[in-house]
Structure 1
Amino acid sequence: MMPFPFSMLKNIPRIFRRSGIEAGGGGRRWQGAPMLGAPTQSTLAARGPAMARASALYVNTPQGNRIVEAWTAALVGKGFHARSQHPDRNVAYQLNTTFELLANAHLPTIIRAMVRDGEAFVQLVTDPDGKLRLRQIPADQIDPSLTRDLGNGARIIAGIEFDGEEQVQAYHVLPEAPGTPFGMIGAPIRVPASDMLHLFDPLFPGQVRGLSWLSPVLLKLRDRDEASDALLMQLKVASLITGFVRDPEGGAAGFGESPDGSVNVSLEPGAMRILPPGAEVTFSQPGQGLQQAVDFLRGQDREIASGVGLTFEALTGDLERTNYSSARVGLLEFRRRAEMLQRNLIEARFLRPLWQRWIDAQVLAGVIPADPKELVDFRSARFVSPGWAWVDPQNEVAAEVAAIDARLKSREEVVAGRGRDIDDLDEELARDAQAGRAVQ
């Protein structure tokens, strides 16, 4: 028996010692680990390739398409309700209806662009008759190659012009989107910031352009799609039964010969073959391990769903292993993030500035009086985001009623949570009550 190497004992503390903060340490375990030293520069460099790859996966893969469409449906739903605070309810109703027709028609394509490309640009165009029109601009039409110093702290970064106070002053828009058939090639046109709405979810302070929401999972999405195709090919091969006949004598191993000299090895239901001694027939088994591969792909789907902020069920539509409690917990977390994006992106960066500019256009067109005192009432507005479908209607309605009775919630809060305008609801209830009295 070899003696125990006691000299190794002195190395044990060195092996298990942890000094300082591991995240900032070195060593072999950190070799090759990615580092993001300049986030703003890295996002600018990755923006174009990530957008092109996300677009390809959106149109070519079910998971890529589902990510964009699921987020669009969650954020837009049936559309936002405008609630003008004008004291005259007839005027408020007209304002709300007209604005909703203007904004909601563009919201799905705007949100698709924001999720898929990482950002969306909407130019506000005033027609000769004073009517405000929305023009959505592809992300690459905001010249990403235009970056230069303008002096006194002002500069242009990836087509967006900033002053010395870091405030956006203008957007430099190419005459046509890159790749447009028969498109014009020319210098970018300077569009004032007041005429452009830019929607994106900044990941880092100082970020100028958006990054595709699919960026954390783009590589995994591509590999997952290729693995799925490989499994499909494997299944197709597995459906082709391949047999191998071994005969030590070099003959037909008991199979008959056809008149043309070929060996008839066809199989029929219930058929039995008597083989000579030493002969055998074996079959290939190319489909082994498929179930394990399917479970592995399901695990990949969970990682992809986590990377894009969706639930596994929302990404795949697979409810096989889902129960009510786990589904509800996942939905609550997802809805909390969706409500944050609805408030901070759609409402703050699109609806509110669009409402103000739309009111200004109405004033210039003579539709709204230009009296500053009256304009205060016209400019004031609230927005109701689309509601969520109930998972368990009976219990959830009972809980909402109990919260109202306990004065923990107002009727308006509950109705707004369903994506309804409380004034519209009260008018409908009043009509129902009047119709009921008329029937009696």
Structure 2
Amino acid sequence: MPVPFARTLSRIFKRSGIEAGANGRRWAGSPMLANPNSSILSARGPAHKRAAALHVNTPYGSRIVETWTSAIVGKGWQVRSQHPDAEVRRWIGDAFEGLILPILTPLARALVRDGEALVRLSLQTGPDQLRLSLLPCEQLDASLTREQPGAGRIVAGVEFDADDQIVAYHVLPEPPGTAYAPPHRLPARDVLHVFDPLFPGQVRGLSWLAPVLLKLRDRDEASDALLMQLKVASLMTGFVRDPDGGSAGFGDGADGAVNVSLEPGAMRILPPGAEVTFSQPGQGLTQAIDFLRAQDREIAAGVGVTFEQLTGDLGEANYSSARVGLLEFRRRVEMLQRLLIEGQFLRPLWRRWIEAQALAGTIPADQVEDYLPVRFVAPGWQWVDPRNEVEAEVAAINAGLKSREEVVAGRGRDIDDLDAERARDTQAKEATQ
């Protein structure tokens, strides 16, 4: 090997220091995020619009959004007030559940598809003192960014004070494009802004589909192209070749058309040199399907769901692999439920709702502190293996590793409701004996 060429190879493949920060041909053209928060602010608008289009136009886009929505919301959240009076606990919990039930599903769907959900709180007169309105995320004026007097600032419609605390949101009265009107300044206590920050200091949310938007689009187009290729190829049954330019022995029909119809048991004698070949429309389809399946796995990994959840294909799954995948997915769902739904939506809403009830005189104003303690119970999960899981939980309770309340809450049930139902069953059984 010539010496200059060997030196060139050694420079190319030499590894020293931290490779992630090195330069060289292998890093040429690699994307870099110099300022992640600025990049998110500039990308969130196009990403939101593309995600919305893929959600309503593609099977996988819809599947991703609905899978996450159903996992986060399930059959609904339970509210367990910690008020000392049992009747008050039940009344206030049922009232709050009725308030949040209509908005939870569209809120979770917006959170996944758009990357953020915006809920406006407004006081009303009448039995429902607090009104919830889910606003389209584009109504939070992303074009409004400027410095404020007194060291404050507005970033993409979110206003901060000198201490870098959010004090207001600048919301357009109508979505952009419908009618022009200046944004309204809403105090921060009247708006719940729910999103999953990827970087410290992030102001606006990014669609959860962002890592796979381009691949989703390409995958959908590839699937359509393969389908159209198969349809076009299926229109061609066969090809007749005659070196003399004739009908290759098929003859002409009564109307002058060549008779090439196919009938059971039919035989044809072709002249020398004539040839008939038949098309094979499905040829190569198996390799294409395998490639698309590999793309499906990348898409599933990019949005945090399992391959089976994305495609509905359980052909390659077994009990162990399906359970491992579901456990990983549920762990992530529980994290997001706690941080986003409970931390950014339910708890601040509960405090504001209790305050509104006190202002309306529904609860005593001097006893607000008794009404504030609350516990939110996320929707439970269905059993993968009911018998083994129940036996494991019973063993954990008997060993003192879990409480009945913890196990019941993990199934999305209220232990007080369960005990009341069991007491009624016992009474009914005793009455029949």
Cα distance in 2, alignment partners of residues 403 and 28 from structure 1: 57
Change (3 A) 1:244 1:23: same
Cα distance in 1, alignment partners of residues 325 and 353 from structure 2: 38
Indicate the residue corresponding to 2:253 in structure 1: 258
Paired residue for 2:383, among 380, 390, 394?
A: 390
SS of the residue corresponding to residue 249 of structure 1 reads: coil
Structure 2 stretches lacking a partner, 5+ long: none
Residue 175 of structure 1: CA displacement? 1.4
Paired residue for 1:375, among 360, 368, 371?
A: 368
Cα distance in 1, alignment partners of residues 21 and 319 from structure 2: 42
SS of the residue corresponding to residue 123 of structure 1 reads: strand
Query: 1:234·1:287 contact (CA, 8 Å) conserved in 2?
Result: no
Aligned 1:89-238 pairs, distance under 5 A: 89-129=86-126, 131-180=129-178, 183=179, 185-238=180-233
Indicate the residue corresponding to 1:430 in structure 2: 423
Query: 1:121·1:138 contact (CA, 8 Å) conserved in 2?
Result: yes
Aligned 1:308-347 pairs, distance under 5 A: 308-347=303-342
Change (3 A) 1:12 1:246: closer
Q: What amino acid sits opposite 1:362 in the alignment? A: Q
Change (3 A) 1:290 1:196: same
Deviations 1:402-433 (A, max 9, x none): 11111111111110110001111111111111
Q: What amino acid sits opposite 2:288 in the alignment? A: A
Residue 231 of structure 1: CA displacement? 1.0
Higher deviation after alignment, 223-232 or 284-293: 284-293
Higher deviation after alignment, 374-383 or 193-202: 374-383
Cα distance in 2, alignment partners of residues 123 and 8 from structure 1: 67
SS of the residue corresponding to residue 105 of structure 1 reads: helix
CA RMSD, 1 decimal: 1.4
TM-score, L = length of structure 2: 0.97
Residue 285 of structure 1: CA displacement? 2.8
Indicate the residue corresponding to 1:415 in structure 2: 408
Change (3 A) 1:6 1:215: closer
Cα distance in 2, alignment partners of residues 363 and 73 from structure 1: 34
Q: What amino acid sits opposite 2:55 in the alignment? A: Y
Indicate the residue corresponding to 1:366 in structure 2: 361
Residue 281 of structure 1: CA displacement? 0.8
Paired residue for 1:23, among 20, 24, 29?
A: 20
Aligned 1:55-74 pairs, distance under 5 A: 55-74=52-71
Q: What amino acid sits opposite 1:237 in the alignment? A: V
Q: What amino acid sits opposite 1:39 in the alignment? A: P
Q: What amino acid sits opposite 1:61 in the alignment? A: T
Q: What amino acid sits opposite 2:370 in the alignment? A: D
Indicate the residue corresponding to 1:295 in structure 2: 290
Cα distance in 2, alignment partners of residues 438 and 242 from structure 1: 76
Q: What amino acid sits opposite 2:28 in the alignment? A: Q
SS of the residue corresponding to residue 235 of structure 2 reads: coil
Query: 1:85·1:381 contact (CA, 8 Å) conserved in 2?
Result: yes
SS of the residue corresponding to residue 107 of structure 2 reads: helix
SS of the residue corresponding to residue 268 of structure 1 reads: coil
Residue 261 of structure 1: CA displacement? 2.1
Query: 2:241·2:276 contact (CA, 8 Å) conserved in 1?
Result: yes
Q: What amino acid sits opposite 1:126 in the alignment? A: L
Change (3 A) 1:337 1:250: same
Indicate the residue corresponding to 2:395 in structure 1: 402
Indicate the residue corresponding to 2:274 in structure 1: 279
Indicate the residue corresponding to 1:41 in structure 2: 38
Cα distance in 1, alignment partners of residues 115 and 387 from structure 2: 39
Deviations 1:363-390 (A, max 9, x none): 111100011xx22211110000000011
SS of the residue corresponding to residue 106 of structure 1 reads: helix
Cα distance in 2, alignment partners of residues 167 and 404 from structure 1: 44
Cα distance in 2, alignment partners of residues 247 and 186 from structure 1: 74
Query: Matched residues, percent identical?
Result: 69
Query: 1:197·1:350 contact (CA, 8 Å) conserved in 2?
Result: yes
Cα distance in 2, alignment partners of residues 221 and 248 from structure 1: 48
Indicate the residue corresponding to 2:29 in structure 1: 32
Residue 58 of structure 1: CA displacement? 0.2
**Do structure 1's residue 52 and structure 2's residue 59 form an aligned pair?**
no
Change (3 A) 1:8 1:30: closer
Residue 109 of structure 1: CA displacement? 0.2
Structure 1 stretches lacking a partner, 5+ long: none
TM-score, L = length of structure 1: 0.96
Residue 9 of structure 1: CA displacement? 5.5
Q: What amino acid sits opposite 1:134 in the alignment? A: L
Residue 286 of structure 1: CA displacement? 3.8
Cα distance in 2, alignment partners of residues 248 and 223 from structure 1: 43
Query: 1:201·1:345 contact (CA, 8 Å) conserved in 2?
Result: yes
Change (3 A) 1:9 1:241: closer
Q: What amino acid sits opposite 1:309 in the alignment? A: G
Indicate the residue corresponding to 1:247 in structure 2: 242
Higher deviation after alignment, 326-335 or 145-154: 145-154
Change (3 A) 1:15 1:117: closer
Deviations 1:285-342 (A, max 9, x none): 3432111111111111110010000011111111000000000000000000000000
Residue 179 of structure 1: CA displacement? 3.5
